Amino acid sequence: MVFNWFKRQFSQEDTPDVEDQSVPEQRPEEAEGQTAEQTETAGQLELSESTFPVESAPSEQAVPALDSPPAESALESADSEETPRSAEDYLAWAKAAFESVQTVGEPLAPRAADSASVDSAPAEVSSTLNQEALADPEVVTEAMEEAAASPVEGEEIAPSPPPTASREVARASSELDASSQPSPEQDMDEGFLWSAEVLAAQGRRPEEISDEEITWLKKLRRGLDKTRRGLVNQLKSVVGQGPLNQEAVDEIETLLLQADVGIEATDIIVEALQGKIREQTLPPDQAIAYLKSLLREMLDRPYHNGYVQTLTPVKNQLNIWLLTGVNGVGKTTTIGKLTNVATSSGYTCLIAAADTFRAAAVEQIKVWGQRSDVEVICNPGKNTDPAAVVFDAITAAQSRQTELLLVDTAGRLQNKKNLMDELAKIRRIIQKKAPEAQIESLLVLDATLGQNGLRQAQVFSQSAQLTGVVLTKLDGTAKGGVALGVVQQLGLPIRFIGAGEGISDLRPFSSYEFVEALLSS
């Protein structure tokens, strides 16, 4: 039994993934032929029509009806029998999850039919537990007494020093050690309660929760601290002053721009807010809930345009994921982390070290490979042809029946044209040598660069035929809002997010969890 991180559920390691094989990654152009029936998804219509004209492709997820109060949305979208409804229910759920993650040994198998993945329709919870249960000292004390008090959160992450060959390799070794073993010990603190609430609201069962999931959610929330401090506290004071009005919307606009959401995405959000206040007066709680829905809908929009919601390597088939992006954004580190996500989720992996330009890149990726016990295919010669490395790696992957080949690429060459030509060549080789493979071309973006990084990124989209984005370094930046700009401006889904330099600091992206972390109390 392994915890499949891509699907966020436990599954039998050797069971062929029938569902995956029948739902290959769908490109936007492939979605054009879908029927009108397919494109009409209940629940998403109001926001989609008024805010984002959705032309094609269904969503796998029912977006909560924005007019409904949060509690109603929660009831509609989550498992009615098991999703907590009150602060007490959430607390009971959190306690059960706490006991479950403390129990060393095999987790319970999920029910085959209803084990919800992370992408199942999320409920609007509005921090019921944090606001209500935490406000009750008795409830909290009781919970804390039952909890084993052992610290779990990692240390603050130091800002990255300028990369040098030896430092990068050393960093890959030492930092991996620090975070490669998530502790099974949790503290039932505010972070745990918040994480439990987020998972419960998505219809999960307490006994299905893994320690790593809780650890990750706490990390994500902590990573977004700076953005939240800049954005949310002010947002709350604007929204909390009274019903949403024009003055408040103007202030929200400024705050969104400050968080690097970008002009285009901000305009759409502000327009939707203005439309809303023309229709009805929203009290503060509902205004925040409405804003959350808007942000989620924006982040989920690529799924309405043909991209599948959950990016999972197809079992028993070759998947090739190409990682591209300008230098220093975190491609090599991301490959290391992705290798760990994939191997611990039960997939066989191989790495192609096609960044032959930067001296330390091959050594750095080898260290990451060792950590997950994954071989790195490389050519130790100087200035070797990266396309040749990719060719060799595909040959090796095909003969070993590897499921996931991760390709590291250079972020800098003599000039931009050379870099783009090289990427286009690698892409051609992959298509020619492995036409049967499921190919993903992921653009790695450094969140600390905000809108600047986004402008640099646009040149990649043609040469690399991008299919998704990995957003790194969300920890320690106040520009986490750039996630919205990324989706709005590039039209690509965010597939993974990185919130730290350790091996377990990268996970599949969930708009629900991201928005909850961004706007949590």
Ligand X SMILES: Nc1nc2c(ncn2[C@@H]2O[C@H](COP(=O)(O)OP(=O)(O)OP(=O)(O)O)[C@@H](O)[C@H]2O)c(=O)[nH]1
**Residue with Cβ nearer ligand X (193 or 259):** 259
The annotation status of 410 as a binding-site residue, yes or no, is yes
Q: Does 168 engage in binding with ligand X (CB under 6 A)?
A: yes
For position 473 contacting ligand X by CB under 6 A, the verdict is yes
Nearer to ligand X, 136 or 421 (CB): 421
- How far apart are CB 502 and ligand X at their closest, in Å? 9
Tell me, residue by residue from 108 to 147, as one string, x for binding to ligand X by CB under 6 A and - for no binding. ----------------------------------------
Phi/psi-derived region of residue 358, left when phi > 0, alpha when psi is between -120 and 50, beta in every other case = beta
Query: Any binding-site annotation on 332?
Result: yes
Which residues make beta-bridge pairs with 409? 354
CB of 205 to ligand X, least distance (A): 30
Distance of alpha carbon 17 from alpha carbon 440, whole angstroms: 19
**Which residue among 122, 493, 500, 508 contacts ligand X (CB under 6 A)?**
500
> Are the C-beta atoms of residues 265 and 299 closer than 8 Å to each other?
no
Structure-token pair, residue 351: 């790495």
Q: For residue 52, give the DSSP letter.
A: S
Q: For residue 123, which of 163, 153, 166, 93 has the smallest C-alpha distance?
A: 93
Cβ-based nearer residue to ligand X, 59 or 334: 334
Contact 217, 195 (CB under 8 A): yes
DSSP element (H, E) containing 246 = helix 246-258
Instruction: Answer for the pair 52, 268: CB distance below 8 angstroms, yes or no.
Output: yes
Residue 517 and residue 127: Cα distance in Å, rounded?
Answer: 10
Assess 333 for contact with ligand X (CB under 6 A). yes
Asked if 191 interacts with ligand X (CB under 6 A), we say: no
Find the shortest distance in angstroms from Cβ 264 to ligand X: 25
Burial class (CB in 10 A: 0-12, 13-18, 19+), 167: middle
Binding span for ligand X by CB under 6 A among 193-201, 251-259, 339-347, 496-504: 496-504
Residue choice 126, 332, 441, 504 for contact with ligand X (CB under 6 A): 332
Of 453 and 485, nearer to ligand X (C-beta) is: 453
* DSSP type of residue 393: H
Stretch near ligand X under the rule CB under 6 A, chosen from 189-197, 302-310, 320-328, 372-380: 320-328
Q: How far is the CB of 443 from ligand X (least distance, A)?
A: 11
Cβ-count burial 103-119 (b if 16+ within 10 Å, e if not): eeeebeebeeeebbbbb
Of the listed pieces 88-96, 104-112, 256-264, 327-335, which binds ligand X according to CB under 6 A?
Answer: 327-335
Q: How far is the CB of 364 from ligand X (least distance, A)?
A: 6
Write the DSSP assignment of 319-352 as a string of letters: EEEEEE-STTSSHHHHHHHHHHHHHHTT--EEEE
Neighbours of 241 (CB within 10 A): 13
Beta bridge partners of 322: 407, 441
Among 107, 163, 243, 284, binds ligand X (CB under 6 A): 163
If one asks whether residue 493 binds ligand X (CB under 6 A), the answer comes out as no
Please give the radius of gyration of the chain, using alpha carbons only, rounded to the nearest integer.
22
Contact pick of 358, 366, 371, 507 for ligand X (by CB under 6 A) = 358
Among 54, 97, 118, 157, binds ligand X (CB under 6 A): 157
Out of 7, 95, 171, 427, point to the residue binding ligand X (CB under 6 A): 171
Using the rule CB under 6 A, is 504 a contact of ligand X? no
| Residue bearing tokens 């790195």 | 376
- Please give the residues from 405 up to 444 whose contact with ligand X meets the rule CB under 6 A: 411-412
Bin 58: left if φ > 0, else alpha if -120 < ψ < 50, else beta: beta
Beta carbon nearer to ligand X, 346 or 476:
476
Q: Which stretch binds ligand X (CB under 6 A): 80-88, 213-221, 298-306, 331-339?
A: 331-339
Looking at residue 445, the DSSP 8-state letter turns out to be E
Shortest Å, Cβ 316 to ligand X: 30
Q: Which of 475, 504, 511, 519 binds ligand X (CB under 6 A)?
A: 475
CB 341 within 8 A of CB 507: yes
Interatomic CA distance for residues 270 and 521, integer angstroms: 22
- Check residue 453 for interaction with ligand X (CB under 6 A): no
- On whether 328 is known to bind a ligand per the annotation, the reply is yes
Q: Which residue is nearest to ligand X (CB)?
A: 411
CB of 386 to ligand X, least distance (A): 12
Q: On the CB side of 127, how many CA atoms lie within 13 Å of its CA?
A: 20
Nearer to ligand X, 295 or 444 (CB): 444
Q: Is the dihedral of CA 519, 496, 171, 479 positive or negative?
A: negative
Binding site for ligand X (CB under 6 A): 157, 160, 163, 168, 171, 325, 327-333, 355, 358, 361, 411-412, 472-473, 475-476, 498-501, 505
Binding site for GTP: residue ranges?
Answer: 325-332, 408-412, 472-475
